[in-house]
Structures are given as C-alpha cells and as structure tokens.
Structure 1
C-alpha cells in the first residue's frame, strides 16, 4: 500500500523493523496514526528484568514513535491497549504512570493479560492509536 506513510524512528524501532520485518507505525489518510506494540526496550534494544522499568521504557517508546509523526506524544492518543505478563503487577504501575504522563487526558484503554509476549524477556507491550491535529492553512 504505497499510499500510506510508514515510519520507523531511528534507534530500537528501526532495529526491530529490520530484524522482524514490520513497521513501527503507519499514518492513515484520515490523520490516524497506528503504532505497533512498543515494549520496554532501551535504545540498544536491551530489556530490563523488572516491570516498572519496562513500563517506563514502553511509554517513552510510544512518545518517540508518535513524535516522529510530528505529534506531541501521549497527549494525542485516543486509544491504547496494554498486554502484560503478570497483570496484577503491571496495573500497580500502569495507572499511576498514565496519570503522571497525561493527567488531564483519559484515552480509552483495553488491558489484556497474556502468558507471553514476542520476546521471552518482555513483560509489557503497549499499542496505541493517535490522531494528528488538523493542518492549519
């Protein structure tokens, strides 16, 4: 679909795109930006062993991808899905993290508990949809 704009920001997203043959995000003609699941990896694709650190990194990775489209970040998210290995532990930090990151904004959310994610060491993955503000003429 050559009419769509796919973006893989430099760093871990670009490496994941090359390694696993998928895109980090796509901009639809409607202004909707769809971001593939972002895990808790750092710039070198290292994944810490604890849930809190992975959540912090996953939130930062979502921001990085959205900002590569010219968006603000989480402020433009209208829908998100979290996939967690160990939902009880994840929820203890996901809710406060969201309140801290976007205190005045409440996107719709589906939280799913899963037995495993794409990489064995992953504990969290966050997928979002955002809307680009209308372009001013």
Structure 2
C-alpha cells in the first residue's frame, strides 16, 4: 500500500528491501509493525546466508532483540518501551525460552507486553534458530510523521 510509511534501516534493511522486496517496519496509524528480526548484524553491508547469524544461540537471540530496538527507533519510535505485542519463533523452544524471557525483562523492565511463543521447524535461513516480530504504540511519532507528510 503506497499510502503507508514503510522503513528499511541502513544495512540489512536496505538490502532486504532491494533483494527480497519487503520493509523492516511500517506505520499504521499510531502503531509501528515490524517484520521479523533475526540475530544478524543489522548494520552490515555485505551478507552471506551461511554466516548470517551468530553461531552462539544466546548471542543470536540477544542480537535479534537489539535489531528490534534498532528497527523501532529507525521507524521513529522510542524502542521497546512502546512495544505491546511480541511474537517469537523458535526452532527449539526448550533451549531458547529462558533466554527470551531474559531479553523481555531486559528490554521492557517497566511493562509486560502480550507474547506469543511459537515453535517452528525452519526460518528464513537454515542457519537461523530464532526470530522475533513486534508491534509498538507510538502516538507521538505518528503525529510527527503525519505532520512531516503534510508539509511535503
């Protein structure tokens, strides 16, 4: 939909937009909806699917959460403080569950979002073991985006 504001952060986001035809985030009213974020280096400029994500599982999960925060801020939000919904995708829930909770508590110490935890057999790369997508409520950022659009 061409009337929605879409975002592709520098590095992986721009590469994915060009080569895979998807945005990292989109604004819909007062919400920022993010595409799934994996444990890749979001700011990288060259990509190899064989070494896309961290080899250490906990580092992969931690990086995915960091990428979500980066994605939200690139889309004009304030990061995880505005997140109200999380969906996680794990290739092995028992080995990942506690680390996900660790990150939820780390990134959102003052509130608890709704969370759906899904077990999956595969993700976008056969090297990926974890992915997360989030939605955030950003009333102030939405107003600023509307104002900027109106002045163009």
* Normalised TM-score (structure 1): 0.92
Q: Does 1:10 align with 2:10?
A: yes
Gaps of 5+ in 1: none
Which residue in the other structure is 2:74 paired with? 68
Aligned to 2:22: 22
Deviates more, 1:11-20 or 1:34-43: 11-20
Within 2, Cα distance between the matches of 1:129 and 1:79? 5
Work out whether residues 81 and 108 of structure 2, in 8 Å CA contact, stay in contact via their aligned partners in 1: yes
Q: CA deviation at 1:95?
A: 0.4
Identify the structure with the greater strand proportion.
1
Rg larger for: 2
Mapped to 1, the partners of 2:129 and 2:68 lie a distance apart of 16
Q: Find the counterpart in structure 2 of residue 50 from structure 1.
A: 56
- 2:31 and 2:139 in contact (8 A); partners too: no
Q: Distance in 2 between matches of 1:9 and 1:83?
A: 22
- Partners of 2:2 and 2:91 in 1: CA distance: 36
**Which deviations, in whole Å up to 9, do the C-alpha atoms of 1:62-109 show, x marking residues without a partner?**
111110122111111110100011111110201011112211110000
Alignment RMSD (CA, Å): 1.6
TM-score between both structures, scaled by the size of structure 2:
0.84
Shift of 1:5: 0.4
Q: What is the aligned length? A: 136
- The corresponding residue for 1:40 is 39
Question: Which of the pair is proportionally richer in helix?
Answer: 2
Residues in 1 aligned to 2:96 and 2:17: alpha-carbon distance in whole angstroms: 26
User: For 2:17 and 2:37, how far apart are their aligned partners in 1?
Assistant: 12
Distance in 1, Cα, partners of 2:3 & 2:69: 24
> Secondary structure in 1 aligned to 2:134?
strand
